[in-house]
Structure 1
Amino acid sequence: MTETVVNDVLAGIKVLEVAAWTFVPAAGAVLAEWGAEVVKVEPRDGGDPQRGLVSSGLIPSGPGGVNYIIEVPNRGKKSIGIDLSTTGGREVLYELAKTADVFLTNYLPSARAKLGIDLADLRRANPDIIYVRGSAHGPKGEDADSPGYDGVSYWSRGGIAYALSGADAEPVGARPAFGDVMGGLTIAGGVAAALFKRQRTGETSVIDVSLLGLAAWNLGPDVTSARIFGRNPEPTKDRRKMPNPLVGNYRTADGRWITLMMLQQARYWPEVLTLLGLEELLGDPELADDIGRYKKRGEVIDRIDEAFASRPLAEWVKILKPLSGAWSVLQTPIELHDDSAVIANGYITLVTTQNGTEFGMPVNPVQFDEVQVRATGAPEHGQHTEELLLEAGVEWDDIERYKKDGSIL
């Protein structure tokens, strides 16, 4: 790891993470990029099960063995391998908890009780620790102990897939960790608020964030309007029925797409038509106001379609550059690496893995004092076990004993 975290707003804060996969670990990654020391507690055998997605062949590794699905939610952390099913393993965890400010977990309630990592267990070790639970469906109700992933609890149960697909279409499949990474950022914000409360009042907090609750929040306008009007909002599948011709996607001659997003149609109408070479529409009295353009929107959209289809994307980028309204090329993920705004603001940074391989990875979007985030790579399984225990005051002889009895890696 060649780079260090620049943002230090949480310098001096220690976070203890007993979590797997992406949802809650993503919160630890954000907190690490904000300057906190984040200790990832992984199972002694095998580590975070997400590590195994590459070794099992379910997800390919990148050149140089980059395990991107581990790097994204675990950048900047330290790793310790602990068997929490053992007495010694729990002793080690509680020792680490004594000096921690925050405890993160996404284990189910039944697993937390079995492993001794529930609220009461951690508060006995440290009464001031902020206890954070990330869950699929929330801490209450009949599904509180039911498992879930973002593809189930966020994407499907939370209504995201329906909102994007509609009633009759085959559901749109979820992208990897789509809700997880947003949930991690949400948790990090909650942790920051709880730290401020504790600093101001001396009182600690229990924080709960669920994937289901996150989905409801993301779909706020749709969920609210659905009950008000008694029907589910449906995505507009017929482009000719879009209410505003200046809001939508238009295909270029080379098969690329340009998105127009000008909600104040009347304000931008003359400017857009002029740039598109459709000045003759400006003299049409039936298109003189928003109501007229709405009534004939299908015909207008057809004309705009024809205009965009007459030139390739590169030409349209030059033509539309002076447009004062909002528009964009519909970009691919790989194109984000070369996006001028992404580069200027440091939204993707170069990271070096433990074996020296360099790759580009997005950082969390929060910047403090215009300082760009400099991410570090994810740790190897159990990489910092001895270091962390020695810093916690555990004697070397005890570390050797814990290793021999299988409590730690």
Structure 2
Amino acid sequence: MSRPLEGIKVVEVAMWAFVPSAGAVLADLGADVIKVEPPTGDPIRGLVTGGLGETNGLNFMFEIFNRGKRSITLDLKLEGALDVLHKLLADADVFLTNLLPAARRSMSIDVDAITARHPNLIYAVGSGQGAHGPDAEKGGYDNISFWARCGIASAVTPAGQPYPVGMPGGAFGDGLSGAIFAGGIAAAIAQRAMTGKASVVDASLLATGMWAMQPGIVGSSLAGLEEMPKPGRLVLPNPLVNTYRTSDGRFVSLCMLQGQRYWPGLCVAIGRPDLATDPRFEKEPDRVANISACVAVLDEVFATGTLSEWRDRLATQDGQWDVVQKVGELASDESALANRFIQDVDYGDGRSLKMVSVPVQFDREAVTPQRGPELGADSDGVLTSLGYSDDEILDLKIAGIVF
């Protein structure tokens, strides 16, 4: 399958997860992404997440956000390194970075310096809080700029909890922000192809978090509130949009927004057709007026069967529902497997790693992810392609510019 960004060259000077995840999406879509790393490597190579560091010789956090890239080591703090970078950029389409503004200025790789020399280059920069305002020079990570600052942590924390709930996993906001960033870069590539204009593309963790939280932001602003109410499961306006516990300690989630349409069928499926004509619950206003009683009855009913039993019974009615799964179950989810939303990446030496596919498909086919690069694995090959001789490459290594 041909991939839509084949022929596009991206030079990435970035670290950790947010901006590299955008590069991973572009690489999956066919772009040649050359990752420029310092001699010590992207620090995410040594990151321990969830108690897991390098397992079976693979650091999964580095791999998932750097799959399909090529790696060259280049110490941009040394004299002579910038010449190599400019040769890399001479025929590149995109320069992708998340270095802080002060660092980019000190290395002469800020927007003005790069675009002055490469006017046809798309300059894409990811930040914590955006390119303007009092925090433009400040760094950020997804657990603060995306999760905490955007109100997500507060919104998902139940009332009365002593501390805000943390993110559900490492780089949770980074991956989402990177995917959106990649979409913006692809739009800039299309714009340049149609108009000749090369844009500066900005994305930030704060902007992505606000995009995700916009119903709460807009709603609370209209109502003059600090945040939207947290009603709790016993006072929701629709008992058919709720989560219920099964007898084996699992949960099913109902999301039947058209409550009146699905209520009679649900009552039959759960073995309580009498509830459909119970005067407390028969009509939508009745269920709203008696919401606590209705949820309590449904709690009792769902507690009588196992998750497996409820899968079968709920499948007999037309309302929308699903299982509250644990992340480890996604590797065997039938729909995920049928659509190749998760794939085994073969490292060619007996090792493999399950990776989640980029969340778009072309011609009804999933894009196949590739392995991430070893540190500096492509340095010699990339430099040779730029016209450097073996002796010149050796000189760069002796000078410490290339590792």
**TM-score tier (shorter):** over 0.9
Structure 1 counterpart of 2:113 = 121
Answer whether contact 1:7 1:368 (CA < 8 A) is retained.
no
- TM-score, scaled to structure 2: 0.96
The answer for the alignment partner of 1:305 in structure 2 is 299
Q: Which moved more, 1:320-329 or 1:187-196?
A: 320-329
SS at match of 2:280: helix
Deviates more, 1:203-212 or 1:119-128: 119-128
* Equivalent residue letter for 1:252: T
**1-side partners of 2:106 and 2:72: how far apart?**
20
* Deviating more after overlay: 139-148 vs 353-362: 353-362
1:171 aligns with 2:164: yes
Taking only the aligned residue pairs, the percentage that are identical comes to 42
Match of 1:60 among 32, 49, 52: 52
Aligned: 1:250 with 2:244: yes
Distance 1:382 1:59 in 2: 27
Distance in 2 between residues matched to 1:357 and 1:17, nearest whole Å:
27
Indicate yes or no: 2:220 matched with 1:209: no
The equivalent position to 2:68 in structure 1, one of 69, 73, 76, is 76
For the pair 1:90 / 2:85, whether they are aligned, the reply is: no
Q: Residues 4-403 of structure 1: matches in 2 within 5 Å?
A: 6=1, 8-44=3-39, 46-54=40-48, 59-61=51-53, 63-166=55-158, 168-169=160-161, 170-174=163-167, 175-231=169-225, 232-237=227-232, 239-353=233-347, 356-403=350-397
Equivalent-residue separation in structure 1 for 2:349 and 2:107 (angstroms): 33
Q: Whole-Å Cα distance in 1 between the matches of residues 348 and 202 of structure 2? A: 33
Letter in 1 for 2:165: V
> Partner of 1:139: helix, strand, or coil?
coil
Letter in 1 for 2:130: G
Structure number with greater CO (CA < 8 Å, separation at least 6) is 1
Residues in 2 aligned to 1:62 and 1:403: alpha-carbon distance in whole angstroms: 28
Aligned residues: 400
Whole-Å Cα distance in 1 between the matches of residues 251 and 272 of structure 2?
19
- Residues 17 and 105, structure 1, Cα contact 8 Å, conserved in 2: yes
Aligned mates of 1:257, 1:68 — CA distance in 2? 29
Change beyond 3 A, Cα 1:317–1:167: closer
8 Å Cα contact 2:150/2:209 also seen in 1: yes
Q: Distance in 1 between matches of 2:306 and 2:88?
A: 59
**Equivalent AA in structure 2 for residue 38 of structure 1:** V
Question: Offset of 1:59 from its aligned partner?
Answer: 4.5
Deviations 1:243-297 (A, max 9, x none): 1110110000000000000000000000001111111112223323211110011
Change (3 A) 1:115 1:92: same
Q: Is the 8 A contact 2:269 2:316 kept in 1?
A: no
Tell whether the 8 Å contact from 2:47 to 2:53 is kept in structure 1 after alignment. no
- Letter of the 2:229 partner, please give it: E
Give the gaps of 5 or more residues in structure 1.
1-5
Segments of 4+ moved more than 3 angstroms:
353-356
TM-score, structure 1 normalization: 0.95
Q: 1:349 to 1:163 in 2, by over 3 A?
A: same
What are the Cα deviations for residues 332-370 of structure 1, in whole angstroms up to 9, with x where unaligned?
A: 111001111100100001113475411211011111111
Shift of 1:166: 4.9
Structure 2 unaligned blocks of 5 or more = none
Residues 170-210 of structure 1, C-alpha deviations (whole Å, 9 max, x = no match): 20111211110011101110011101110000110000001
